[in-house]
Amino acid sequence: MRLAGRHRRRGSRRSAARHETLDRRRLLKAALALIDRDGPQRFSIRRLANELGVTPMAVYNHVSSKADLLEGIANAAIEGATYPSPHGDWRRVLRGWFQALRRACLDHPGAIPLIESAERLPAAVFRPMETTLSALQQVGFGVEDALRAYFLLVTFTLGQASYQIKEWGRGIDAGSAVKENRISGTTFPAVTQAAMFHDWDFDMSFEFGLSIILTGLEARIPSRSRSDGRERSRR
């Protein structure tokens, strides 16, 4: 269980050094905007510096390396999520929170590859993680199963968003993929048939998967009261 976080701020024991963090935020905000505009492929420290009208090395005053910078951008993207209430029926809570997480990802398409390529999950996933674990444990799940369920939900959500984003790269061609790849329709008939959906509804696909997961989880609730679980004591 390792998660990425910001750098431990050094010095400045008084007055909170507000300018330092503010500048880092401005930097990350500009970087996120740049990466959403031009795509992660074209992003570089030198371009970011140029965009800010500053020398490349000035960036290193707020960031320790490019990897740190990319992690910061990925985190900033997820941090922008606006979640609904964490209280009430657990299925509603999980559905709403992972919908919100997905929405935040789709709002920053350029940052999604950074979330994947980061060697740690951004620290901003702590919030949906906490809500998920808490909701599932309240309903009777053990700590380990709750954690497993969280991994299921988060990998599905991020993976789905990632796949959706890639469609943005090139045209919306579809059946052509089958021909391009010289797939003989006889050996892959179902794939060929599926390739005909050239206007795939990713929202519905996500909702379908989410429903499947929630249904599966509901059937797994340990013992009593598998309906709403509002009345269950915690732990």
Partner DNA sequence: ACCTGAACACCGTTCAAGT
Closer to a second copy by Cβ: residue 33 or 147: 147
Closer to a second copy by Cβ: residue 106 or 205: 205
> Quick one: which of 68, 84, 6 has its CA closest to 31?
68
Q: Are 40 and 73 in contact (CB under 8 A)?
A: no
Which window, 38-46, 91-99, 124-132, 193-201, contacts DNA (CB under 7 A)?
A: 38-46
Which window, 18-26, 46-54, 78-86, 165-173, contacts a second copy (CB under 8 A)?
A: 165-173
Q: Give me the amino acid identity at 127.
A: R
Closer to DNA by Cβ: residue 66 or 127: 66
> Quick one: which of 103, 150, 145, 144 has its CA closest to 126?
150
State which H helix or E strand residue 203 sits in: helix 202-218
State which H helix or E strand residue 92 sits in: helix 90-107
- In the list DNA, a second copy, none, the entry touching 38 (Cβ below 5 to 8 angstroms by class) is none
Residue 107 C-beta: closest distance to DNA, Å: 24
* 45 is a site residue for a second copy (CB under 8 A): no
Q: What does residue 22 show for φ and ψ, rounded to 5 degrees?
A: -65, -40
Closer to DNA by Cβ: residue 12 or 176: 12
Query: Which DSSP category does 164 fall into?
Result: H
Binding stretches for DNA (CB under 7 A) = 11, 19-20, 23, 44-47, 54-58, 60-62, 65-67
